[in-house]
Amino acid sequence: MSTRGQEDALVARLQEEGLLMSDGAMGTMLQRLGLTDGGAPELWNVEHPERVQSVYRGYIQAGSRIITTNTFGGSRARLKLHDLQGRVHELNRAGVCLAVEVAHPRGVLVAGSMGPTGELIQPLGELTMAEAMEIFAEQAQALAAGGADFLLVETMSDLREVEAAVQGARRATNLPVVVTMTFDTNYHTMMGVSPRQAVETLASWGIRVIGANCGNGPDEIRAVMTEMARYRPEGVFLMAQSNAGLPRYHQGAIRYDGTPQVMAQYAVAMRNLGVNVIGGCCGTTPEHLQAMHAALEQVRDQPIPGPPTEESRTPVESREARTARREARRAARRQRKA
């Protein structure tokens, strides 16, 4: 398949079907299979390939039409925490190959996952844009070598890091790039990016599929995706992958409180906003995906209402209001010091 064919296949699938269900949490499932806290999930791509592949297979059986590779922390910067920085190509390529083997025969697309570096880019940190681009280019090249259909830059909070990832990926490969950011700080990213700013900025860079993942559960992502749907530029597809609720400590383990029924309701809500790719993030299991798939099938032939038009229907604060509130706080502090 040519690179251009791969790009056309991704967009054409969305244009033809309108909606694709993606998958759930990789870390959650690997922990069920024995991964301990502090271990490198990507190392399992070569040490326990059958377990990683069982996760991929479980999501496909649950109805996922896109599966995400076990490579979220596969960049040199993240693997360095485990003294594995010299194995970027090996571990990323292995993760994709395992996915391709079970996905492509069933017509399922493979998303090569690329997460944040974990470092701040200048001027906030020491990492330069050039270094960040090189880090992402190296990982992207390995994911492409394994046969990924597209690259998924996910769980981002800084648009500069997204820019480095997109430019690095484009420099190293011709694969399409999909981007999702996490809006877990008062409906903004940790770096202050709003859903509207994200969808408009990323679309201007030529990103065709844009969305949100992780965060504080379905209620939060519903507000975020409402804002994205309202300001979606023409030709852009939306993607939502919410955590299965919030993590709770229960009987010595962390559990997410979003039931399959809760996630099924979330899936239908996303579909009704016009979101094109719907899946889950942390805590989301095949059981959740099965319920989501069944719920989406039930409403398959119903009209899609789209986002409400009233600004008051979303709690996401506008950039202007956020700036005004920040300036008011500063003025108040200056007055108290005077």
pLDDT tens track for 215-260: 999 999 999 999 999 999 999 999 999 999 888 877 767 788 899 9
Which residues are paired to 188 by β-bridges?
A: 185
pLDDT tens track for 275-285: 999 999 999 99
- What's the CA gap between 266 and 132, in Å, rounded? 35
Beta 253-256 vs 247-250: how paired, if at all? antiparallel
- What's the CA gap between 94 and 88, in Å, rounded? 10
Q: What pLDDT does 213 receive?
A: 97
The answer to which of 132-136, 165-169, 329-333 has the lowest mean pLDDT is: 329-333
Tokens of 272: 């009704």
Which residues make Cβ contacts (< 8 Å) with residue 91, sequence separation at least 6? 42, 43, 45, 46, 71, 74, 79, 84, 142
pLDDT tens track for 255-276: 888 999 999 999 999 999 999 9
Q: What pLDDT does 334 receive?
A: 61
What's the chain's average pLDDT? 91
What confidence category does residue 190 fall into, taking pLDDT thresholds of 50, 70 and 90?
Answer: very high
Predicted confidence (pLDDT) at residue 207 exceeds the cutoff of 80: yes
Q: What pLDDT does 329 receive?
A: 60
Q: What is the DSSP letter of 316?
A: P
Which residues are paired to 111 by β-bridges?
A: 68, 150
- What's the CA gap between 22 and 20, in Å, rounded? 6
Residue 239 neighbours by CB distance under 10 Å: 27
Q: How big is the chain, counted in residues?
A: 338
DSSP 186-217: TTB-TT---HHHHHHHHHHTT-SEEEEEETT-
Q: What pLDDT does 287 receive?
A: 97
Helix H or strand E encompassing 249:
strand 247-250
Look-up of token digits 């490198």? 40
CB 236 within 8 A of CB 212: no
pLDDT tens track for 4-58: 444 567 788 999 999 999 999 999 999 999 998 778 999 999 999 999 999 999 9
Q: What pLDDT does 246 receive?
A: 86
For residue 130, which phi and psi values (nearest 5 degrees)? -65, -40
Residue 297: which domain range?
3-337
Q: What pLDDT does 181 receive?
A: 98
pLDDT tens track for 52-100: 999 999 999 999 999 999 999 999 999 999 999 999 999 999 999 999 9
Q: What is the CATH number of the domain that holds 100?
A: 3.20.20.330
Which residues make Cβ contacts (< 8 Å) with residue 336, sequence separation at least 6? none
Domain count for the chain, please give it: 1
**Residue 118, phi-psi category: left (phi > 0), alpha (psi -120 to 50), beta (remainder):** left
